[in-house]
Amino acid sequence: MLDLSVVIPVYNEEENLAPLWAELRPVLEGLGLDFEVVFVDDGSQDRSAEIVRRLREGDTRVRLVSLKANAGETAATDAGFKAARGRMVVTMDADLQNDPADIPRLLARLDQWDAVCGWRANRAAGDSLVRRLSSRLGNGVRNWVSDETIEDSGCTFRAFRRECVRGLTLYRGFHRFIRPCCGCAATGSWSCRWATGPGASGGPSTAS
């Protein structure tokens, strides 16, 4: 079994994939772990799948899972979980909003917790007031329904022990409810603060 799988849902991200891999690869190599990066193409209409295949030609630690049609982020995440072979699993976006340099911080907490949830500490830099208020309301409702205290349930930058996601079935839109659906042994999770930089796609994030 591999040490780490990084699952990345992809939908029309052709411009971001090469820069993402350039940032991600040295971080993962620096961990000294056996790893794989599973890109899940969610029916992209651009050259995303082709670019991932090209990345794989240069490094067999890159894997491509292709969905026949656009099924949404939850389905792509679920497919990535099922394909993952690592004892630890990290999920992140393909749009450069998540900083790969924060991955070691997430993994370090898996010694204490079963699931680690990132959250966007500086959303004001890239989101409108309406979007931030909507997110805050959504987080409140989700926490009330699930009896959780997750700061940012819409943030997909997370780390899990394999047993948390093994056998997990996700329904449409449930990528925001992964933590309460995990059935982990631990009753809590640790929140890793990370900030989002400016830019049309959110920009690269920096640890805070």
CA distance 86 to 182: 17
Secondary structure (DSSP) of 57-112: HH-TTEEEEE-SS---HHHHHHHHHHH--EEEEEE--SSS-S-GGGHHHHHHGGGT
What's residue 204's pLDDT?
34
In our burial notation (b when 16+ CB lie closer than 10 A, e otherwise), range 51-86 reads bbeebeeeeebbbbbbbeeebbbbbbbbbbbbebbb
pTM of the predicted structure, to 2 decimals: 0.74
Per-residue model confidence as pLDDT tens digits over 19-58: 999 999 999 999 999 999 999 999 999 999 999 999 999 9
Domains, in order of start, for the chain: 2-207 (3.90.550.10)
What's residue 187's pLDDT?
37
